[in-house]
Amino acid sequence: MLKLARAMWRTALVPSLAVVVIGAVAGALWVGSAGLFGALVGGAVAFASSLATLFMMRWSAGMHPMAVMAVALGGYVFKMLVIFGVMTLLRGVDALHTYALALTMMGVILVWAGAEMVAFKRTKIPTIIPN
């Protein structure tokens, strides 16, 4: 788990930062400072969500496999509730452009998930398959 978490961090960091930069530039060109701030906040929320996944992986690494699955499912539900709550609270903020925030957040989450998949496929993890 720890090896996989490190590989996911290394694989996802640069592409996700690139998506935040692209989103911020596009938001700034699209609607000005509200787009820039919206994209930066969306990128920060997506980064926090993705880092929470890596934190949960590190925290549950020594647990029983069933406990790890419970942490994964509970963590996913908790992250979604937090993201929905944050997005609901930020919806009425005039300094943030809603679409720039949402598109940047969606882009970062998708790129991070894709990078996690690539890291998982590349990482050599010993597995025991009983008969």
pLDDT digits (tens, 9 = 90+) for 70-115: 988 998 898 889 888 888 888 888 888 989 999 999 999 999 999 9
CA angle (23, 56, 63) in 5-degree steps: 160
The residue extents of the domains of the chain are 2-122
- Residue 126 clears pLDDT 80, i.e. is over it: no
Q: What are the structure tokens assigned to 106, written together?
A: 């969606």
Q: Could you tell me how far CA 87 lies from the centroid of its own chain? A: 15
pTM of the model: 0.83
